[in-house]
Structure 1
Amino acid sequence: MKRKRILGAAAAATSAVLIASGCSAGGQNAATDPNRAQAEVAKVSIDKDGTLSKGPASQVQGSRQGGNINILWRQDIAHYDPAVAQSSPDTTVLELISRRLTMYRIEGDKTNLVGDLATNAGETTDGGKTWKYTLKDGIKYSDGTPILAKDIKYAVARSFSSLYARGFQYIQTWLADSAEPSKVYAGPYEGGELSNDKVEVPDDKTIIFKFSQPRPDFPFAAALGATAPVPQAKDTKEALDQTPITSGPYKIASHEVDKSLKLVRNENWDPNTDPIRHQFVDSFTFQFGPLPAEITDRLSASAGDDRNSAGISQTVAPERFEQVMNDPKLKQQIIDKPSNQVDLFVINNSRVTDLNVRKALLTAFPKEQARLQKGGPYQGDFATTLTSPSTLGWQKYDLPGVSDVDPKGDPEKARKILTDAGKLGYSISLGYNQTPTSEKEALAVADGLEKAGFKVEKIAMQSKTYLDARDKVDNNLDFYWSGWMADWPTAVSVLPEQFDGRKIGDGRANNSHFNSPEINAEIDRIMKITDSVQQGAEFNKLDKKIMESVPAVPYVYPRRQVQFGTNVGGASFDSHVMMNLANLYLKS
């Protein structure tokens, strides 16, 4: 993606954005220091000359070929179609089997956005209104057929369909100039071909995106699932969610829903075209179902084939943190890092319309007691903002009644807020993910709210379908957990997605249903700022402004501890702060 890359001023500013690095400012004991800084920062640069976009990927010290690695995870992937998948674990797995226009190349503490299918991270001559990409030579699907530029255009076109509204919608909303892109263009099934004034494919290797206003963050959005290529003749619509088209180093050999997934080598993947991924092991076998306590115990013991196993996301069970993190031997089997996520407890603003009730929820919320159920300080620092400290422009702000709330909760103060508003005894439906940890967390939250004078109904929701059910507009819930990780290191992928009232809809990220014309207008103003540093400062002010309306309760800036077996090498985090599967190998 980058033979001649010509950057306008807007895109140049984006090349120095910030992301959380692999260690915390507090040093080795930072996870237990409640006053530590959330994270150090490292630059994420856009590859400017295409050098870093060339394959093969950098060698991993000690790596060797062969064998099978077991991945232990509590649930099956919710969506296998890259156009639909949005959760970090799902995205991490899919990036192993589906390539995109761009991707992150991580080498130590250096992160570069590089060309994946393309020769560079994109070329613009007009400050980011037009982005041109040239595909690499020799890139193929797992069936051996070549990947063509028209396949990427078709993939983007199909992602406009309302069938895929749950997926990332940045490219679609920018091309359509609408928060509801499917109403502007319904996708190829109903709306015909995506017009050339939006996406042009002059030949088999060139694709050009055209926007009505500068989109300096487009190279980051191009790393998401909408640009994973799909040949039109092989589009099986909803069925693609179980049998995706593959182009990465691995392909699906078998899949038993909710039980197992087997990935094997894709013999048509060429490492010389891929600067990010490896193909060290012969296969990955995913075992779906084990809960965190079982995973922790199995990986700690590393008996038999479990020595060849690893987790993918948070795998250290809360009740095992002290045992694992204080054991020097077990700690060698852990990677530990702050994520760029913010965990919230979202308030359904379409149901809880009284600001005083929302303030009472914020005031009563027992962050400390709830976090204790998820691992205490190991889980991360208490949050007071909607954006992560790793986001460009972030600064902690003072907002009375928000940033100064006691982490234990203040039930007496919350009760007074409810009483003065005539809302004492207000009923709250608390939705939660039905896992052992979340069950305990929900009990702690409910207890804190009830002490403040709320009536709480706890509603258990199935783990695999929790996100889909929560993200429906008519979800019949008042209060529920939501974790949002920046899709790249600016607030463009956070606040406009979560709090733009024009983005309320099934499967959309605005699951608080917050809608303020004033905030919507401010988002539009800030999105037109092409200097990323200036834009970041304005987004930080917007964060504070949104919190004046209390659409959600900031909860935790999470850390992640992921464990692996004693025979697994190459453990590291990817750009989503998940286990980087492409770097794993077996030591023997």
Structure 2
Amino acid sequence: MRWIKPSLAVVATALLATSCSAGAGSTSGPGAATKDTSPLTAALGTEKESAGPAPAVPGARPGGTVNVYNTTDFRHLDPQKVYAGAAYNTSLLWGRQLTQYQVVDGKARLVGDLATDTGTSTDGGRTWTYRLKEGVSWEDGQPITSQQVKYGIERSFGKGYEVGPPYWPQWLTGEASYDDARKKYGGPQDGDLAAIGTPDERTIVFHFPQPQADVPYMAAQSSSSPVRQDKDTGTEYDRLPFASGPYRIAEHVQNTRLVLERNPHWKAATDPIRSQYPERFVFTFGKEALNINQEILSGRDGGADATTVSTQLSPELYQTVDTDPKAKELVVSGRQGAFVTQLMINNERVPDVEVRKALHLAYPRQQARQVQGGTRVGELATTLSSPALVDWQKYDLYPAKPEGDPEAARAALAKAKQPPAPLTYAYANTPVGQRVAQVLVEGFGKAGITIVPKPIDPKALLDEAHRADSPYDLFEETSSVDWPTPSTLIPFSFDGRANSDLNAARYRNGEVDKEIDRINQIGEPRAKAKELYGLEQTVMKDVPVLPFAYPNMNQLRGANVGGAFVHPIYGSVSLSWLYLKS
């Protein structure tokens, strides 16, 4: 997953306890006692656990309106385009998938959502079959069918959907790249996709050219959501998708306001994931982060009934929450799943590995973390992958001082083919972003590297940094794998054949690409993971990006909001379990 995305999932084909400290938040699950973190046990649920309803939230009561304050609107609402953590998390309110994560006591369990279970595999993993539950329906009461699930997945092949996950197109065609997959099938306009069968309205069968062990976890991605063809409004669907979850979209004024109301045709008995306690959710976009946090802490202007899914606790308020017991109770904290924050380098614009190594050695990580909030931001990172992944391997190929080492960086620059030109650093134009930019200018400057900061509207930063002709050399990004193995890290984020939406570093290494193809043929998940961890270190020798932190999530909930916890998969406050205390 690129960007603040998503998701991770869990290892395929078996129960697996991971070391994901992804969990818990200030409450480790619906109604649970307060904890700082909790290990995540990621497991495949049974058919019985997939049945519904969701576990009740102790003390929850129905009614009222929960306010959600975010600095910016979601990049996409179209389910086949959603590929960011906060949007994944929020879209659970109105969208359902074949599988999804049930959270109990801070631990995630993958269960059937629309499907009766997490899928049945035959033919050595080349064929996967799902059966839809009886009674699952759209917001107008019409039943959800297997053909509509198929149509939704077919959409992910279409033009404009390259912003979403590439897995269905690649897996179903057997092609290594999304672009090559689209040459074989370009979406619904090309007709029927033979690789997906729908023998009846409740059965969907996937046929893959190669074995695929991770299908149950891909089935939880937003792009596995059904879409009804008669409700597919094209680009307008990105603003107003048709609902299958406990809420439906009543109003969406982009970049301003999003209103959700209860979906009367959602049946709790079919849904083991979600609840429907509030009558409405009202999202407000465009406020500054500090203002959002101040309103929630003070309880004014609806703040007591509010939370956020994309805005972190402002550093200006750290002292307040550390010294005021009542304010501290409103902090929802937890490990941000398997996310890693990195200083991204555009390798096409900075092609010399010695220059990139110099940037790594000079990087003032400690100072950058301090101006963002100190140690509560997270642990400083040395790897591309997160410690939350199964069988994770710690390494530090080029040990660097946390505060930066200008002398070592100058020594690396002396080996470069030529001194680097001034490097442009794109950053979100916020108070925190401005402080980080100043730290980088000063820190890299000590090593003789000139940084030219370029402030960008926060709403546009990802698009600007990821577009193919981006003029920026550096930018900070927090992203995650799509499930807690390394199988979606190197093969998708550092594959030289991938576009800049996925391979944001524009890293190109033909030998790495060959190794990706070889390793992708390994069917046993943990054997595959071992090979990928080795390949990760090969990639890191080229210093394509600069690891910064394994981040924590610190967010606020209003004094009248109950059931708040950091979702162990999606890494932000989960809305599906919230209620108002009075």
* TM-score higher than 0.5: yes
Q: CA deviation at 1:216?
A: 0.8
Aligned to 2:362: 364
Q: Choose which of 461, 472, 478 in structure 1 pairs with 2:473.
A: 478
Aligned to 1:352: 350
Q: Choose which of 448, 464, 472 in structure 2 pairs with 1:469.
A: 464
Q: CA deviation at 1:329?
A: 2.1
Report the AA paired with residue 516 of structure 1.
Answer: N
| Distance (Å, rounded) in 2 between the aligned partners of 1:534 and 1:326 | 48
CA contact (8 A) 1:512 1:551 kept: yes
* 3-state secondary structure, aligned to 1:581: coil
| Distance (Å, rounded) in 1 between the aligned partners of 2:301 and 2:257 | 19
CA contact (8 A) 1:41 1:390 kept: no
Report the AA paired with residue 377 of structure 1.
Answer: T
CA displacement 1:99-130 (0-9 Å, x = unmatched) = 00000001004321001100001011233211
Report the AA paired with residue 584 of structure 1.
Answer: L
CA contact (8 A) 2:333 2:565 kept: no
* TM-aligned CA distance change 1:422 to 1:499, over 3 Å: closer
- Match status 1:245 vs 2:242: yes
Report the AA paired with residue 559 of structure 1.
Answer: N
Report the AA paired with residue 578 of structure 1.
Answer: S
Report the AA paired with residue 418 of structure 1.
Answer: L
* 3-state secondary structure, aligned to 2:92: helix
Report the AA paired with residue 380 of structure 1.
Answer: G
* 3-state secondary structure, aligned to 2:74: coil
Q: Choose which of 380, 383, 386 in structure 1 pairs with 2:384.
A: 386
- Runs of 5+ consecutive residues of structure 2 not aligned to the other structure: 1-10, 26-35
- Match status 1:442 vs 2:418: no
Q: CA deviation at 1:328?
A: 2.5
Q: Choose which of 483, 495, 518 in structure 1 pairs with 2:511.
A: 518
CA displacement 1:380-419 (0-9 Å, x = unmatched) = 01010001000112121142x2xx1011111122123223
Q: CA deviation at 1:314?
A: 4.2
CA contact (8 A) 1:321 1:378 kept: no
CA contact (8 A) 1:171 1:218 kept: no
* 3-state secondary structure, aligned to 1:429: strand
Pairs within 5 Å for 1:483-562: 483-505=478-500, 508-562=501-555
* TM-aligned CA distance change 1:422 to 1:216, over 3 Å: closer
CA contact (8 A) 1:415 1:424 kept: no
Q: CA deviation at 1:524?
A: 2.0
| Distance (Å, rounded) in 2 between the aligned partners of 1:102 and 1:17 | 19
| Distance (Å, rounded) in 2 between the aligned partners of 1:184 and 1:20 | 41
| Distance (Å, rounded) in 2 between the aligned partners of 1:11 and 1:376 | 36
- Match status 1:294 vs 2:291: yes
Report the AA paired with residue 194 of structure 1.
Answer: L
Q: CA deviation at 1:137?
A: 0.5
How many residues align? The count is: 557
Aligned to 1:584: 578
CA contact (8 A) 2:258 2:284 kept: yes
Larger RCO of the pair (alpha carbons < 8 Å, separation 6+): 2
CA contact (8 A) 1:119 1:135 kept: yes
CA contact (8 A) 1:118 1:134 kept: yes
Aligned to 2:307: 310
| Distance (Å, rounded) in 2 between the aligned partners of 1:555 and 1:219 | 31
Q: CA deviation at 1:480?
A: 1.1
CA contact (8 A) 1:73 1:286 kept: yes
Aligned-residue RMSD, C-alpha: 1.8
Q: What TM-score comes out, normalization by structure 1 length?
A: 0.91
Q: CA deviation at 1:52?
A: 0.7
Report the AA paired with residue 577 of structure 2.
Answer: N
Q: What TM-score comes out, normalization by structure 2 length?
A: 0.92
* TM-aligned CA distance change 1:22 to 1:227, over 3 Å: closer
CA displacement 1:317-375 (0-9 Å, x = unmatched) = 02222321343322211121111100111111111111111111111111111111211
Identity %: 37
CA displacement 1:472-491 (0-9 Å, x = unmatched) = 12101111112111221111
Aligned to 1:4: none
Pairs within 5 Å for 1:320-339: 320-339=317-336
* TM-aligned CA distance change 1:268 to 1:16, over 3 Å: same
CA contact (8 A) 2:144 2:226 kept: yes
CA contact (8 A) 1:127 1:216 kept: no
* TM-aligned CA distance change 1:65 to 1:526, over 3 Å: same
* TM-aligned CA distance change 1:350 to 1:239, over 3 Å: same
| Distance (Å, rounded) in 1 between the aligned partners of 2:430 and 2:173 | 39
Q: CA deviation at 1:15?
A: 4.5
- Match status 1:213 vs 2:210: yes
| Distance (Å, rounded) in 2 between the aligned partners of 1:434 and 1:333 | 27
* 3-state secondary structure, aligned to 2:118: coil
Q: Choose which of 440, 451, 459 in structure 2 pairs with 1:456.
A: 451
| Distance (Å, rounded) in 2 between the aligned partners of 1:478 and 1:213 | 37
Aligned to 2:188: 188
- Runs of 5+ consecutive residues of structure 1 not aligned to the other structure: 1-9, 25-37
- Match status 1:60 vs 2:57: yes
Q: CA deviation at 1:187?
A: 0.8
Aligned to 1:34: none
| Distance (Å, rounded) in 2 between the aligned partners of 1:239 and 1:314 | 26
Q: Choose which of 111, 114, 139 in structure 1 pairs with 2:111.
A: 114
| Distance (Å, rounded) in 1 between the aligned partners of 2:538 and 2:231 | 47
Q: CA deviation at 1:156?
A: 0.6
Could you list the structure 1 runs, at least 4 aligned residues long, displaced by more than 6 angstroms after superposition.
Answer: none
* TM-aligned CA distance change 1:521 to 1:495, over 3 Å: same
Q: CA deviation at 1:292?
A: 2.1
| Distance (Å, rounded) in 2 between the aligned partners of 1:139 and 1:290 | 37
| Distance (Å, rounded) in 1 between the aligned partners of 2:14 and 2:400 | 36
Q: CA deviation at 1:304?
A: 5.2
Report the AA paired with residue 504 of structure 1.
Answer: N
Aligned to 2:32: none
Q: CA deviation at 1:14?
A: 6.5
* TM-aligned CA distance change 1:472 to 1:21, over 3 Å: closer
CA contact (8 A) 1:11 1:127 kept: no
Q: CA deviation at 1:23?
A: 6.0
Q: Choose which of 167, 170, 174 in structure 2 pairs with 1:170.
A: 167
